[in-house]
Amino acid sequence: MKKVIGAAAGIDYFKRERNLSIDTVLSDGRGLFDEELTPDAFAARVIEIVRSEGDAGIHRINTALDGSTPELFEVPQSVIDDALDNLDPASVKAFELAADRVRNFQKRGLPKSWTDGTGKFGERVTPLKSIAAYVPGGTAPLASTVIMTVVPAQVAGVEELVVVTPSPGDSMPHPAVLAAAKIAGASRVFKLGGAQAIAALAYGTETVPAVDLICGPGSAWVTAAKKLVYGNVGIDGLYGPTETLVIADESADPRFTASDLIAQAEHDVIAMPILVAVSEEIVDKIEEEIDRQLAELPRGNTASAAFNNRGVAVVVDNTAEAVDVANAAAPEHLCILTEDAEDLVDSVTNAGGLFVGEWSAEVMADYVAGPSHVMPTAGTARFSSALSVRDFVRVTPVLTFDDDTFLTLSKDAELLAKLEGLHGHAAASEYRRRRIIGE
């Protein structure tokens, strides 16, 4: 891990290097475009192919990139049912527990329609009609992501809940992903991945429905595509590699601290594990423990690469400075493993998710605690929030004025309209006011 000494140096580090820019990653377009392109450029070309060619374009892209393509994109309902029926009972129970806890957590955050008591104004909350949850493929079947994306939308009242997940050729997605889709209440599942999946969901094809919003994490190419289709379809956010920041003092158990960092580092070689500690001695102890644990893990090589590529340890003088560094980093996950953990909570302003004390392990939120584990990355926790039921509703202001209310406000509205030079606006009020007063 890179070592940074001092809070000021740590704050400066994260202001400069919050995350790896996806524009610095070159995608290998050979076999499709015969040139290397940035994710944005690659996604733009893929989107155009899908928009103009539909299903045939997706087949062409898949064949060029993967050497094969599914004959049919949609997973039959019978296959989904079989996946759930054949999953071991303990895993089914765990998925159901996770879904129930997420459902109960999200119900508490569901916005409600309201009026001012007189019925003259308020807001109307309505769910989106359709959404798609992108569930990454790769080396780990992220079945939990199905729960964390579909269930909040279901709580919001969304009718059509689509899951898309990559699967090569005619093979089916991992049975755990399909079982989770059934438990979460997904309407349909499609074998689609990459920028082509995002394009299909944004614009629709012969067999893939266009939706109102696309949510969920994905590769650099998926993220680039989401950015480019935004405006034609809603998106939840733009997610980079996962990141966890752990604040530790002398009271922190090195085993817990190391394992919390490893838990995210094992996702990807460009994941970002961050340690902020109140002494170099603590850093040294935790690094020793990281090495010990990595040697025992099946994905130890991936996690080790993440520590080497993007891991950083910041040494500060006290826990207050540690929080200052954390706020500058605005990490996806912020774990506080200090003696005064609860006293620091109110000082935290920028974090996707906050995990206070040694028993509030971030892994709990990944699976069973209740919040969605889809959280802002790359410093975007400065202005955005974890995925929630609120992402799947629209809030519409509603006016139901009577003539008395209108008359009370109309002259001021007319004055402001004329100040802006918008006399048509003013007239729309004046005509009504004159009728009320009999002019």
**Domain that includes residue 31, residue range:** 22-66
Q: CA 48 to CA 57: how far, in whole Å? A: 9
Q: Which of 21-35, 210-224, 240-254, 381-395 has the lowest mean pLDDT?
A: 21-35
Domain boundary among 320, 353, 369: 369
pLDDT tens digit string along 280-327?
999 999 999 999 999 999 999 999 999 999 999 999 999 999 999 999
- Distance, CA of 98 to CA of 371 (rounded, Å): 10
pLDDT of residue 357: 97
User: β-pairing, 114-115 with 121-127?
Assistant: antiparallel
82 shares a domain with 228: yes
Q: Which two tokens stand for residue 420?
A: 């802006």
Q: Are both 93 and 201 inside the same structural domain?
A: yes
Provide the token pair at 25: 């990653």
Q: Which residues touch 148 (CB under 8 Å, ≥6 apart)?
A: 102, 372, 373, 374, 387
Q: Is residue 196 situated within a structural domain? A: yes
Q: What is the pLDDT of residue 69?
A: 92
Q: pLDDT (tens digit, 9 = 90+) per residue, 221-254?
A: 999 999 999 999 999 999 999 999 999 999 999 9
Burial class (CB in 10 A: 0-12, 13-18, 19+), 187: middle
Domain identity same for 230 and 134: yes
Q: Mention every residue, 6+ apart, whose C-beta is less than 8 A from residue 414.
A: 426, 429, 430, 433
CA separation for the pair 330, 388 (Å, rounded): 19
pLDDT confidence bin for 36, thresholds 50/70/90? confident
pLDDT of residue 13: 95
- SS3 of 81-146: the string is HHHHHHCCHHHHHHHHHHHHHHHHHHHHHCCCCEECCCCCEEEEEEECCEEEEECCCCCCCCHHHH
Residues 135 and 56 in one domain: no
Q: Is residue 412 part of a domain?
A: yes
27 and 6 inside one domain: no
CATH of the domain at 201: 3.40.50.1980
Tell whether 27 and 52 lie within a shared domain. yes
> pLDDT class for 34, splitting at 50, 70, 90?
confident
For the chain, counts of helices (H) and of strands (E): 17, 16
Tokens 């969901």 correspond to what residue?
A: 201
Inform me whether the pLDDT recorded for 21 exceeds 60. no
Same domain? For 222 and 85 the reply is: yes
Given 203, 235, 267, the domain boundary residue is 235
pTM: 0.93
Q: Which of 287, 289, 332, 414 is catalytic?
A: 332
Q: Are residues 168 and 90 in the same domain?
A: yes
Q: Are residues 98 and 223 in the same domain?
A: yes
For the chain, what is the mean pLDDT?
95
- The residue among 352, 390, 351 whose CA lies nearest residue 374 is 352
Last residue of a domain, one of 66, 95, 120: 66
Residue 56 belongs to some domain of the structure: yes
On whether both 145 and 225 belong to a single domain, the answer is: yes
Q: What domain count does the chain have?
A: 4
Active site residue 333: yes
Residue range 352-377: average pLDDT?
A: 97
Domain assignment of residue 384, yes or no: no
Q: What pLDDT score was predicted for residue 22?
A: 45
Q: Is residue 380 part of a domain?
A: no
* Catalytic pick among 333, 362, 373, 414: 333
Residue 381 inside a domain? The answer is no
The pLDDT assigned to 168 comes to 84
For residue 103, give both structure tokens.
Answer: 């459902």
pLDDT mean over 51-66: 95
DSSP 26: P
Residues 90 and 56 in one domain: no
Q: Do residue 358 and residue 326 come from a single domain?
A: yes
Poorest-confidence range of 24-28, 235-239, 393-397, 413-417? 24-28
Answer yes or no: is 396 within a domain. no
Q: What is the dihedral of CA 74, 75, 78, 84, to 10 degrees?
A: -140
Domain contains 394: no
